[in-house]
Amino acid sequence: MNREITIQQKNKRIFSLEFRTTGKHLIKSSNDTTAEIVQHVKTHCWTVAYWDLNNDGFHLVFVGDRPFKTNLFIFLWLAQTGQKFLDNQYLKQ
């Protein structure tokens, strides 16, 4: 991916699930991963799904079966809301 894109920071948390973006790359193997949905439990959290960027825009990647172990209604709402937000960020640049 040759295109540089800057993502506005955004967080939306519903109960224990959160959509969040960051200015830094979340995964060492990818330079374009800057948004994720995480599951919070007490003082810890882990990635449930994350967005990668390619020439067509952002696409959501599941981490194993973690999304299916969450509240699916909340997960899907966050995934849809996050996708719309990221698509708008991609189209602005």
Write out the residue range of the structural domain in which residue 59 sits: 11-92
Model pTM score: 0.85
Domain-located, residue 52: yes
Please write the tens of the pLDDT for every residue from 38-65.
999 999 999 999 998 888 888 999 999 9
CA distances from 84 to 9, 51, 59 (A): 14, 12, 11
Rounded to the nearest integer, the mean pLDDT of the chain is: 85
* pLDDT band, residue 30 (cuts 50/70/90): low
Number of folded domains in the chain? 1
Domain-located, residue 1: no
Domain-located, residue 4: no
The answer on pLDDT for 16 being more than 90 is: yes
pLDDT score recorded for residue 78: 98
Domain-located, residue 3: no
Please, how many CA atoms are within 13 Å of residue 93, restricted to the half-sphere of its CB? 14
pLDDT score recorded for residue 17: 97
